[in-house]
Amino acid sequence: MSDIFQPAPAEPLRCRPPAIATVQVDTPELRVTRWDFPPGAETGWHRHGWGYVVVPLTDGAMTLELPGGETASATLVAGQSYHRLAGAEHNVVNTSDAPFSFVETELKGMPG
């Protein structure tokens, strides 16, 4: 093998099911999406272009995979909302044994 060609290090194979996104409202001002996560499901890596509010419909445990390989854990409590500013980057993974769901409202008037 030539010294010029160096194969990239292998990334671990991940076989996670995708979370299910159902857009409920999409106007020039906002987008409302229901997210359903079977156990082990993930959103896939994404960056939020707008500020957003999340309203959990059920309790759940999730892991956020963050830039640089870091992770954070979070607990969802049904009815206990939270918000984030535009620019958040992560992959959301359901690390609980049960499904969970939340509604995310993206505020298109709050770009990052």
Instruction: Write out pLDDT tens, residues 26-64.
Output: 999 999 999 999 999 999 999 999 999 999 999 999 999
> Which pLDDT belongs to residue 27?
96
Tell me which amino acid residue 26 is.
D
In the β-sheet with 30-37, what is the strand arrangement from edge to edge?
A: 20-26, 30-37, 100-111, 50-56, 82-84
> Which pLDDT belongs to residue 15?
84
- Domains, the chain: 20-111 (2.60.120.10)
- Token pair, residue 91, equals 């992959």
68 backbone dihedrals φ, ψ, rounded to 5°:
80, 10
Tell me which amino acid residue 51 is.
G
What pTM did the predictor assign? 0.84
Instruction: Write out pLDDT tens, residues 67-109.
Output: 999 999 999 999 999 999 999 999 999 999 999 999 999 999 8
DSSP string computed for 22-46: EEEEE-SSEEEEEEEE-TT-B--SE
